[in-house]
Structure 1
Amino acid sequence: MTQNSAPIRTRFAPSPTGFLHIGGARTALFCWLAARATGGQFILRIEDTDRERSTEESVQAILDGMQWLALDHDEGPFFQSERFDRYQAVVDQLLEQGQAYRCYCSRERLDELRARAMDAGEKPRYDGHCRDLEHPPEGVEPVIRFRNPDEGTVVFEDRVRGRIEVANQELDDLVIMRADGSPTYNFAVVIDDLDMDINLVIRGDDHINNTPRQINVYRALGQEPPEFAHVPMILGDDGARLSKRHGAVSVMAWREQGYLPDALINYLARLGWSHGDDEVFSREQLIELFRIEDVNRKASRFDTEKLNWLNQHYLREGDRAQLHEELRWHLARTGLEADAGPDLDELLSVQADRVETLVELVERSRPFFEDFSDFEAGAAKKHLRPVAAEPLKALRERLEALEDWQADALQDAVQATADALGVGFGKIGMPLRVALMGHGESPAINQTLRLAGRERSLARIDRALEFIAEREAGQSA
């Protein structure tokens, strides 16, 4: 048990009408941390009562995203679609107690009510027309509405935003069951949280307006509501509401872009939560330090540069097993075989400082895993000239005789060749770089030789020498 005392039992309850995006992932993380920080439980619930928009693909995308981020749940996933009998039983109870009623109002009447309220500058709300209806119309399937209290106020202490108070006169009689027998969000969530013994609901602050309505349903059922913590939204780099162009896409799309799960977790934790000026936190540190009360009330701005900085940090310092798994995944996606190239630890140690994502790392490392078809024209024209033939031949002889294919020995071999020929290191280094990589960019030349390996390096020097010979022959013809 950490500094937080009472065990928190909370849940993440996404709707499977789309992917798990950054905002949802951060909410899931805060729920997971709150539970783990107090020795509590984290429950996963899929709120799939929207029959038209819920899909199996979205359910799987949510599960995949949670698994990739390693936000493991203690119970679930539970599906609302499997609990319709339970919701119906509670609706029957509320109808019998007179705390719910059947509403037969047509869509046209409701639209007219809304239009009149809008014209009058008032908040649209249902007028209670069917509350005490004596002669219901025939042939109309009613919805079920909750009879909201007419007087008093709803007061709750939000663990992020503080005291919130709403007069019941501001609330109308919400629909709790549709005409097709499916429950609405504001009703089903109450029954689920009661049945699952949730004592803290952590969710986005777009749900604040729902909370007083839900609290009234709890109390109509003779139950005390859980505590609530409403976390602020995430804004894009430009300060606008997060959208697809900012990165409000599937969490798995971030994997495809080359980000590491630990880097994303670290970054999401810092979107609205902080501990001093620290930026880098392991999961263990987050669990030790996280308190939901420390989440900022203000909206957080997504900062891609900071995420990239963190991702590079984890490329250098992150868990090796995770790095290997992600790197192998990216290599396979681009048609490369991990076993056809250098040791992955060596590759990471050399390339991590030169890239920000695994996508960049794989692209820059492609020549270490497969042969390239042609030399880049500009680099070949500049560096694979006849004058480079002698240094490359001399270096090849020295490299072929080298017993120790290690970075220090390779560096010494290149330097010794340059010294023997009385030329600068670059006179050998740049032609060699183009020979090995096909272009003029690579890590330090000794590291490039080391990663390419003996057989591949010698073969590519031979190929470069053939290219130079053909170029020279063409010039003299």
Structure 2
Amino acid sequence: MKQEATPDTPVRTRIAPSPTGFLHLGTARTALFSWAFARHYGGTFVLRIEDTDVARSTQDSVDQILQAMHWLGLDYDEGPFYQMQRLERYDEVIEQMIAAGTAYPCYCTVEEVEAMKAAQEARGEKRRYDGTWRPEPGKTLPPIPAGVTPAVRFKNPIDGVVTWDDVVKGPISVGNREIDDLIIRRPDGVPTYNYAVAVDDWDMRITHVFRGDEHVNNTPWQINILSALGAPLPKYGHIPVILGNDGLKLSKRRGAVSVGNYEEGGYLPEALLNYLSRLGWSHGDDELFSREQLVSWFDGTHLTKGPAQWDPAKLDWVNGQYIKQADDGRLAGLVAAQLAKRGIQAETAKLPAMCALFKDRCVTTVALADWLAMYFAPVTPSAEDLASHVSEAVKPALAALAARFAAIEWNKAAIQSAIKETIAEQGLKMPQLAIPVRVLVCGRAQTPSVDAVLELFDKEIVIERLRSL
């Protein structure tokens, strides 16, 4: 469903993570869709931190979420807003609702409600609050128990149907008899999720809510609360889940990695965004595209109804394409940071050239750092490579090459000439010398062109490694 933005209805979207852990991939995708939609229509993207789960919310999680959003480049226009800083506002609205008869105090204890629902289940009935404290005309409520702080419940309509035209799924209807009277404020004074979200979306003038499939069941309550408040309803779009390799839902409870793990793993943010955008949305057959293209295309259409499959190999391919196109100076900074984590200092003006030489072979900056570590730290060739390639017959040639290297200007042309002269002198073919050189100097038998690789080393390191036998 394409949104036609007008001056009277400016698009306002939001992302509202709970700070009970890292920003995981599903939330990152929702943030991306919300951001792209707002940017497409010249609207506003809001960041809200839903921290009413006081027992599990942490400042460390907030910091990780903000850092992940920054790394991804999902810049927000307003926020972050914190729900726990809005308790006074929630209380104000609840008092208005009680006065209007759309909310009421409930003195049932947790134990009483659980016993009530257990009895319903035993009778084969649906588990739900039975309306003990729900005021109705002519109904006599139980005596208020002493010493009990009440919860507050929303007086959900009994009859009728909640219907909305979901941006992703199309028309959805839920009968009000399927929904019980939701607690909107706990006895401890903290609002519950569905109530706080509804008030926030109203106050923040949210016009479009993109969120995961798991929130479909929350939407009828939120619509009814907003309707009871006389508030405008946003358009809802529920995005299908992301499935892992095992076909089960990708979730942090099942160990799905965070956005931060991908940053640490050497992925580029634009590559991760590109890949995430294709999980549940498409623009024809386009696989690789810029953020600007995504914003231009993302109008709320072409969102898929079926679940998306997380494919690590596809992400690696996408990231590899972005690394090939990346500025070498930028890659040098990322690789230097990766090497620093290993205790390796890579301070050299040659680092961008090293990245340029090896980046076509790498799908992450971690892999690129694996290659380039040989320039800054000792290498240990495998016993198999030494036995296969560094025979007694080739050792005189290696010694002769080291002597030639000591006498030349250190550049690619001179290195190539020294190798060719040694091959001719020793009666060898290029692989018979080049591969042993790679093994001793680089620690591996396969590299790009050996003269290009050696040129980026300090000459003394190359000579030392060739003479290390």
User: 2-side partners of 1:242 and 1:397: how far apart?
Assistant: 58
Task: Kindly indicate whether the alpha-carbon contact (under 8 Å) linking 2:240 and 2:305 is maintained by their aligned counterparts in 1.
Answer: yes
Task: Tell me whether 1:182 sits opposite 2:195 in the alignment.
Answer: no
User: 1-side partners of 2:366 and 2:340: how far apart?
Assistant: 12
**Residue matched to 1:323:** 331
Q: Which of residues 423, 434, 438 in structure 1 aligns to 2:439? A: 434
**Residue matched to 2:310:** 302
**SS of corresponding position for 2:301:** helix
* Aligned-pair CA distance for 1:347: 2.1
**SS of corresponding position for 2:148:** coil
**Residue matched to 2:460:** 455
Task: Kindly indicate whether the alpha-carbon contact (under 8 Å) linking 1:264 and 1:307 is maintained by their aligned counterparts in 2.
Answer: yes
**Residue matched to 1:472:** none
* Aligned-pair CA distance for 1:197: 1.2
Q: Which of residues 21, 41, 50 in structure 1 aligns to 2:24? A: 21
Q: Which of residues 223, 229, 243 in structure 2 aligns to 1:235? A: 243
**SS of corresponding position for 1:387:** coil
For normalisation by structure 1, the TM-score amounts to 0.91
**Residue matched to 2:409:** 403
* Aligned-pair CA distance for 1:412: 4.1
Moved more, 380-389 or 359-368: 380-389
Task: Kindly indicate whether the alpha-carbon contact (under 8 Å) linking 1:436 and 1:460 is maintained by their aligned counterparts in 2.
Answer: yes
**SS of corresponding position for 2:225:** helix
**Residue matched to 1:165:** 173
Moved more, 284-293 or 388-397: 388-397
Q: Give % identity.
A: 45
Equivalences, count: 460
User: 1-side partners of 2:382 and 2:81: how far apart?
Assistant: 55
**Residue matched to 1:53:** 56
Task: Tell me whether 1:276 sits opposite 2:284 in the alignment.
Answer: yes
User: 2-side partners of 1:8 and 1:446: how far apart?
Assistant: 57
Task: Kindly indicate whether the alpha-carbon contact (under 8 Å) linking 1:26 and 1:269 is maintained by their aligned counterparts in 2.
Answer: yes
Task: Kindly indicate whether the alpha-carbon contact (under 8 Å) linking 2:320 and 2:362 is maintained by their aligned counterparts in 1.
Answer: yes
* Aligned-pair CA distance for 1:446: 1.7
User: 2-side partners of 1:11 and 1:245: how far apart?
Assistant: 24
After TM superposition, the runs of 4+ consecutive aligned structure 1 residues lying more than 6 A away are none
Change in 2 beyond 3 A, CA 1:299/1:312: same
* Aligned-pair CA distance for 1:92: 0.6
**Residue matched to 1:123:** 126
User: 2-side partners of 1:428 and 1:113: how far apart?
Assistant: 83
**Residue matched to 2:382:** 376
1:68-88 CA-partner distances (Å, limit 9, x unpaired): 111111111111111100001
**Residue matched to 1:205:** 213
**Residue matched to 1:91:** 94
Change in 2 beyond 3 A, CA 1:262/1:325: farther
* Aligned-pair CA distance for 1:196: 1.1
Task: Tell me whether 1:358 sits opposite 2:338 in the alignment.
Answer: no
* Aligned-pair CA distance for 1:335: 1.4
Moved more, 374-383 or 308-317: 374-383
Moved more, 229-238 or 130-139: 130-139
User: 2-side partners of 1:328 and 1:245: how far apart?
Assistant: 33
1:354-407 CA-partner distances (Å, limit 9, x unpaired): 2322222212321111223x543333334334322332233234434433613x
Change in 2 beyond 3 A, CA 1:320/1:31: farther
1:317-336 CA-partner distances (Å, limit 9, x unpaired): 13556534432321211112
State the superposition RMSD in angstroms. 2.2
Q: Which of residues 388, 394, 400 in structure 2 aligns to 1:388? A: 394
Moved more, 6-15 or 42-51: 6-15
Which one-letter code corresponds to 1:384 in the other structure?
V
Which one-letter code corresponds to 2:247 in the other structure?
G
* Aligned-pair CA distance for 1:119: 3.5
User: 1-side partners of 2:189 and 2:253: how far apart?
Assistant: 38
Change in 2 beyond 3 A, CA 1:354/1:244: farther
* Aligned-pair CA distance for 1:236: 0.5
User: 2-side partners of 1:246 and 1:167: how far apart?
Assistant: 33
* Aligned-pair CA distance for 1:243: 4.3
Which one-letter code corresponds to 1:183 in the other structure?
P
* Aligned-pair CA distance for 1:247: 6.0
**Residue matched to 2:12:** 9
Task: Tell me whether 1:367 sits opposite 2:370 in the alignment.
Answer: no
After superposition, where does 1:96-111 map in structure 2 within 5 Å?
96-111=99-114
Moved more, 144-153 or 449-458: 449-458
1:129-158 CA-partner distances (Å, limit 9, x unpaired): 101225221111110001011122211111
User: 1-side partners of 2:282 and 2:111: how far apart?
Assistant: 50
User: 2-side partners of 1:320 and 1:426: how far apart?
Assistant: 30
Task: Kindly indicate whether the alpha-carbon contact (under 8 Å) linking 1:405 and 1:454 is maintained by their aligned counterparts in 2.
Answer: no
**Residue matched to 1:425:** 430
Which one-letter code corresponds to 1:363 in the other structure?
D
* Aligned-pair CA distance for 1:97: 0.9
User: 2-side partners of 1:363 and 1:245: how far apart?
Assistant: 31
**SS of corresponding position for 1:72:** coil
Task: Kindly indicate whether the alpha-carbon contact (under 8 Å) linking 1:380 and 1:439 is maintained by their aligned counterparts in 2.
Answer: no
* Aligned-pair CA distance for 1:121: 4.3
